[in-house]
């Protein structure tokens, strides 16, 4: 079977078009959703993510308050900026790009963000609400993965989902979202990680395989069964002298061989990537709607 390739850019464009309409509705009430963005230091990958987020805001009519801070900023100054954004009524969502430089305490910064503005869904209050199935801001990459599956017609209810990777940003929240007793959950979930013995034993049992290990070549064709739906969350830079930048992006899955067995597969780039930013915009719009007292579900 040769796989249908899931076009993440198209799904993201569809959701952004829906959001544009909701923003237009908010603007008739004099409300412009606002996102506060904080980037500390000049890690090239983080810089390009943040630039893409700011551009996406501009494109759909979200006001963004962009803050590029020197790598040496103190914990107190960084927390003071977050606090100012908590208190600023123009800002509905706050994004602190991770990872932070090592001298900064990331957990303490995340705790400072008002949970009602935590559009990344990383604050323990939102994590806890998600786990118990209460309404919460869902973290953007796992939320994007679920939307990609649903909008590609994949049945999650009753499926065996195997997740490779247990990060706080992707693997752990995704497992929690997919086991919820809800129409967008109801899956049986297996989470594999670096200490899993015989990874292929588990991946071969997946109806839906989600690779979020952060290592190229983690999933090869012999590790999947015919007809599996594959979502590749990996974004890895590999050296490539033929490219102007000197590198190209690859996922965690060996795309060319796995696509011959899968029913559906996401490419890298152009799969999950565009969804992550889109769900950040989604959470920011939802936050503005909640602040305005509009009923959102």
Nearer to ligand GUN, 269 or 294 (CB): 269
Distance CA 75, CA 56 (A): 29
CA angle 162, 168, 173 (to 5 degrees): 55
The residue of the chain with the least Cβ separation from ligand GUN equals 98
* Smallest distance, ligand GUN to C-beta of residue 68, A: 14
**What residues between 252 and 281 interact with ligand GUN by CB under 6 A?**
276
Task: Choose the binding region for ligand GUN from 65-73, 95-103, 241-249, 258-266 (rule: CB under 6 A).
Answer: 95-103
Least distance in angstroms from the C-beta of 99 to ligand GUN: 7
**95 binds ligand GUN, rule: CB under 6 A:** yes
What's the Rg (C-alpha) of the chain? 19
| Catalytic residue check, 88 | no
113 is an interface residue for ligand GUN by CB under 6 A = no
How far is 90 from 5, CA to CA, in rounded Å?
40
Q: Which of 12, 11, 45, 10 is nearest to 249 (CA)?
A: 45
> Per CB under 6 A, which of residues 191..220 are in contact with ligand GUN?
none
Neighbours of 89 (CB within 10 A): 7
Task: Produce one character per residue of 197-225: b if its CB has 16 or more CB atoms within 10 Å, e if not.
Answer: eebeebbeebbbbbbbbbebebbeeebbe
Active-site residue, selected from the candidate residues 53, 117, 172, 259: 53
Choose one: 3-11, 89-97, 127-135, 216-224; the region binding ligand GUN (CB under 6 A).
89-97
120 labelled catalytic: yes
Classified as helix, coil or strand, 115 is: helix
Answer yes or no whether residue 110 interacts with ligand GUN by CB under 6 A.
Answer: no
Cα end-to-end span (Å), the chain? 38
Q: Which is nearer to ligand GUN, 203 or 276 (CB)?
A: 276
Under the rule (CB under 6 A), what is the footprint of ligand GUN?
A: 95-98, 120, 140-141, 169, 276
């Amino acid at each position: 079977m040769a796989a249908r390739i899931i076009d993440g850019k198209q799904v993201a464009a569809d959701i952004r078009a829906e959001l544009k309409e909701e923003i237009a509705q908010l603007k008739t009430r004099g409300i412009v959703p606002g996102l506060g963005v904080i980037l500390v230091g000049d890690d090239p990958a983080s810089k390009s993510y943040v630039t893409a987020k700011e551009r996406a805001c501009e494109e759909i009519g979200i006001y963004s308050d962009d803050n590029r801070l020197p790598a040496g900023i103190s914990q107190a100054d960084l927390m003071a900026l977050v606090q100012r954004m908590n208190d600023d009524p123009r800002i509905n969502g706050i994004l602190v790009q991770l990872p932070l430089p090592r001298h900064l305490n990331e957990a303490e910064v995340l705790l400072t963000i008002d949970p009602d503005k935590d559009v990344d869904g990383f604050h323990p209050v939102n994590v806890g609400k998600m786990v118990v199935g209460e309404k919460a801001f869902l973290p953007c990459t796992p939320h994007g993965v679920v939307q990609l599956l649903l909008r590609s017609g994949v049945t999650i209810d009753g499926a065996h989902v195997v997740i490779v990777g247990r990060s706080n940003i992707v693997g752990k929240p995704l497992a929690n979202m997919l086991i919820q007793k809800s129409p967008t959950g109801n899956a049986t979930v297996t989470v594999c990680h670096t200490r899993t013995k015989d990874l292929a034993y588990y991946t071969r049992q997946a109806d839906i395989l989600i690779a979020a290990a952060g290592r190229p070549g983690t999933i090869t064709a012999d590790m999947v069964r015919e007809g599996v739906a594959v979502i590749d969350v990996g974004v890895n830079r590999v050296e490539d002298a033929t490219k102007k930048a000197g590198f190209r992006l690859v996922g965690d899955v060996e795309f060319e061989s796995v696509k011959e067995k899968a029913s559906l597969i996401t490419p890298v780039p152009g799969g999950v990537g565009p969804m992550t930013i889109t769900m950040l915009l989604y959470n920011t719009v939802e936050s503005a709607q909640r602040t305005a007292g509009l009923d959102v579900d």
